[in-house]
Structure 1
């Protein structure tokens, strides 16, 4: 595997681990790890593997190192209010019901059929979720469309370049310098619960620390990227000779998080810390809602700014990306054949979903 200039021996070892990992790991966990996890199972191998020397600076300085003061009191007040809002959303999601199987949607014209399947990027291996309808959608696809390419050599190089330039502080800043003493103590407690030493995360920018924590929790709880929906679809698609296409690059996908201000990234991190205390319960509820095809429940849990930490985080993780995808999807109607679009379930649920945006533009999308 080609090396990356400027990485030390430890970082090159980490790079090999990334190369050997499955192609995907995204989802949305308490859900702050929504689609951040796309390619982010790999991030866990970067804990303690920060680059020893980065020769190439990011093309544009991240606001995460701009040094603006964050209002810890404002954040503490927001975190006091959020649990009640989240509890109400979770209660409503539990009360909602689906059709008993993961939801499918279809957009079609005279010579093109586009099927949509919301995905969960890591699942428990024992979960059986494929229905005859889903199997037919996979088997009938001439082209399978995922969120981003994370498996090609070029994508791997760009992914590592992005992580090393946008995921770590390069000016000596340490993560805890952005937090209040109380927040640092909470972070240490969350890290202890998932078996990560805080020293390993000190060079991380807050968004990357949040993703690492989320992924580690999922893996510890028995969620497996090999059992994730994209992995299952990809194996079947390769076997049947289907083509692959992607809606965005990894830089586009993760760049929104990396481009958040200092304070917004810390909001994201502390929302993740808050979610660690819920353990597997919220994760299993999320999967239950997806497996039941409960689009309303998924919208309450995933397409919800309160569940992701703040409106800016929600915008860069969900709404902004959905808006970029819709024109690409409608352009696919010019391509004769059958297409399967498999993207994180949160992108297909709620008021800002791809499905809602398509319908608002006048397209008839069959399904819930």
Structure 2
């Protein structure tokens, strides 16, 4: 299953935004689907991938310490999983055992206020539309993308490229689909057979609720949507064009598999995670590559600013901080921000070199 690098590394409110896009567009409804407590059944037509052996392997964990502050357990996340191995939940429970709180990028359960935020930031006014802001796709190709995804064309053309792209990606991953009530109303609903399963963030959020320990979020919906909206126009367009092509089975250079991300995460292979998140792949356009790197860098800046504003927490700890894998690497990574703030970082134990991964079939869905 291929997956877009940014989906794995810095989704934050991405699929949440896609859901809200639907809720805020055609029907003007305020209904919000809540994340299900149990992962959904996988399509019987999807090829099965051997699950990682979490009995032997362990996800990578950094430990950050600073005098006068709780110890921070730093865990990279993947925002969607290729296989629903119950040992993933067991590994997360083990890592979170005894923590005082869990810190995530943003909440995964949208609110009515979030709907209004997405609509305010992600939609064009009535006198503007998507065709005025996309040069590489014609009005006909945009309309074909809307039809391929099952979207209402009028509503699709009122969304900005980044939001249209996220809605299409949610359909491509079979997590959401457009449904009609037989009248004029069209809405977004969860599917019974998604191509991916709930990611690490959602599982940790459910774990925190089950244990009744505090959940802390590093980014508001306003910040997340504004970050997408401030993205360079070429990057937004490259993302939209890529996911529209993906609906027709075209693989965009720079797409890598969810299986690869999950295997690297489960085995604690830090080098593989860094490569999957940050490597420039042959044929990948500047704009497509910059899309993911922009989100990594700008998102990390938001997370670090929130940590600093909150005084890096108080109490005895430890505290689990779990953000997308892409935020752990590069010159302005979360780890570098913490070092600059006076933290001493203990890296994960070295993992054995991973076996070479075979090329991903083109029918699989993507994540960078």
- Asked if Structure 1 and Structure 2 have the same fold, meaning a TM-score greater than 0.5 normalized by the shorter chain, the answer is yes
Runs of at least 5 residues in structure 2 that lack an aligned partner in the other structure: 29-55, 176-192, 349-368
Q: 1:363 to 1:118 in 2, by over 3 A?
A: same
Contact 2:239–2:291 (Cα < 8 Å) also in 1: yes
Distance 1:293 1:275 in 2: 30
* 1:233-260 alpha-carbon deviations (Å, 9 max, x no partner): 2222222221111112111122111123
Contact 1:209–1:269 (Cα < 8 Å) also in 2: yes
Q: 1:181 to 1:235 in 2, by over 3 A?
A: closer
Match of 2:334 among 331, 354, 357: 354
Contact 1:295–1:350 (Cα < 8 Å) also in 2: no
Paired residue for 2:297?
319
Paired residue for 1:50?
25
Contact 1:30–1:275 (Cα < 8 Å) also in 2: no
TM-score by length of 2: 0.65
Paired residue for 2:210?
239
Pairing of 1:208-357 with structure 2 (within 5 A): 208-219=163-174, 222-224=194-196, 227-260=198-231, 262-273=233-244, 277-278=250-251, 282-303=257-278, 309=287, 313-314=291-292, 316-329=294-307, 331-332=311-312, 334-357=314-337
Partner SS state of residue 257, structure 2: helix
Distance 1:174 1:183 in 2: 13
Q: 1:291 to 1:190 in 2, by over 3 A?
A: farther
Paired residue for 2:48?
none
Q: 1:41 to 1:326 in 2, by over 3 A?
A: closer
Contact 2:122–2:225 (Cα < 8 Å) also in 1: no
Q: Which has the higher helix share?
A: 1
Contact 2:102–2:319 (Cα < 8 Å) also in 1: yes
- Give the CA RMSD over aligned residues: 3.6
Q: 1:350 to 1:129 in 2, by over 3 A?
A: farther
How far is 1:203 from its partner? 1.5
Contact 1:300–1:350 (Cα < 8 Å) also in 2: no
* Structure 1 residue 30 corresponds to structure 2 residue 4: yes
Q: 1:150 to 1:286 in 2, by over 3 A?
A: closer
Partner SS state of residue 299, structure 2: helix
Q: 1:200 to 1:235 in 2, by over 3 A?
A: same
How far is 1:366 from its partner? 1.6
How far is 1:282 from its partner? 2.7
Match of 1:147 among 96, 105, 119: 105
Q: 1:256 to 1:308 in 2, by over 3 A?
A: farther
Match of 2:77 among 119, 140, 147: 119
Higher mean displacement: 165-174 or 263-272: 263-272
Distance 1:288 1:193 in 2: 31
Distance 2:88 2:286 in 1: 28
Distance 1:48 1:235 in 2: 23
Pairing of 1:193-212 with structure 2 (within 5 A): 194-196=149-151, 198-212=153-167
The structure, 1 or 2, with the larger RCO (C-alpha pairs under 8 Å, 6+ apart) is: 2
Q: 1:360 to 1:181 in 2, by over 3 A?
A: closer
Distance 1:248 1:232 in 2: 18
Q: 1:294 to 1:129 in 2, by over 3 A?
A: farther
Pairing of 1:75-114 with structure 2 (within 5 A): 100-109=57-66, 112-114=70-72
* 1:177-206 alpha-carbon deviations (Å, 9 max, x no partner): 433475556555655655546555122111
